Amino acid sequence: MQKRKLGNSNLEVSAVGLGCMGMSFSYGPPKDKKEMTSLLRAAVERGVTFFDTAEVYGPYTNEELVGEALAPFRGRVVIATKFGFDLKTDPRGVKGAPGLNSRPEHIKQVAEASLKRLKVDAIDLFYQHRVDENVPIEDVAGAVKELIQAGKVKHFGLSEAGVKTIRRAHKVQPLTALQSEYSLWTRTPEKEVIPTLEELGIGFVTYSPLGKGFLTGKMDAQTTFDNSDFRSTLPRFTPEALKANQALIDLLGKIGKRKKATVAQIALAWLLARKPWIVPIPGTTKLHRLDENIEAVAVELTPDDLRDIESAAAKITVHGARYPEKLEQMTGR
């Protein structure tokens, strides 16, 4: 497995990480703990060193799963987790947007609890999950800075933040990474965010690099989602949008045939080719998908391949917002 450094930091991780949310939360009922433990350990054996979780996933159960499964590999793996939701309100945002809480005292409480669940002495990378407009970002960065000084956190990150917030936070405590959604069907970060990260030397961890499963090529207009799957609430996963967006899958499939790679592997290889400090964290609960995602690192897209993807993608309009309005309002702040 190739390694990448997140921006100018000394944090080196596998070129493809593993998003762990779906093992416990959001994509249908929680998966079997024993099976997920095996999957997490299989990822380490295959060279994955970067794992992503959050207190809100479950809530709490995903951190517990990751902490227990990766306990034998302390020092060999990097675990990222997140703070910023008020779990006294509805954490899933199904009945409305979840409450936010990034007050400094709350951040410190979350850090202590996450340390215990993850069974670690220090959190490798601690992200603010969503920007809380009720708390100045300088106060948030200051609280994490104190946790770093106390040896409880190693690196600071933001998730789905806008460029002004990134700059303000970075002045108080240098950011190691921004985590936001980025893929061939969510290209918003290209306009302002990616140039800002490059300028400041901040790494980019891309979640949903396979478009919440759509960019695997395994969905069509007939695909349905039950109420325990949060995609059932997303405008981009209506039958109409799924049908309209198949043009992207056709494009990736054409390139895949040429490269002897799957649709998902081309989607990941495209991201890896964008910048050397971009690290996608596809989530999966299946071993064969884990292997497929890891093998994407070996797929080399030539400048011609990338030009072909770019010119074809420019003619495709992605249908459907990525989140319902309330959740969309919590991004890009």
What pLDDT digit, counting tens, does each position of 21-58 carry?
A: 999 999 989 999 999 999 999 999 999 999 999 999 99
3-state SS assignment for residue 283? strand
Cβ–Cβ under 8 Å, residues 24 and 57 = yes
In terms of DSSP bridges, do strands 3-5 and 12-14 run parallel, antiparallel, or are they unpaired? antiparallel
Distance (Å, rounded) from C-alpha 301 to C-alpha 268? Answer: 11
pLDDT digits (tens, 9 = 90+) for 273-332: 999 999 999 999 999 999 999 999 999 999 999 999 999 999 999 999 999 988 899 999
Sorted by where each begins, the domain ranges of the chain are: 3-217+264-300
User: In this predicted model, which residue has the larger pLDDT, 91 or 195?
Assistant: 195
Query: Would you mind telling me the total number of residues written for the chain in this entry?
Result: 333
Q: Is the sign of the CA dihedral 180, 183, 185, 187 positive or negative?
A: positive
Distance (Å, rounded) from C-alpha 138 to C-alpha 253? Answer: 45
Task: Give one DSSP letter per residue of 47-85, joined into a string.
Answer: T--EEE--TTTTTTHHHHHHHHHTGGGTTT-EEEEEE-B
Question: Which CATH number is associated with domain 3-217+264-300?
Answer: 3.20.20.100
Catalytic residue numbers read 57
Distance (Å, rounded) from C-alpha 93 to C-alpha 103? Answer: 20
Please state the pTM of the whole predicted model: 0.96
Q: Quick one: average pLDDT of 188-215? A: 97
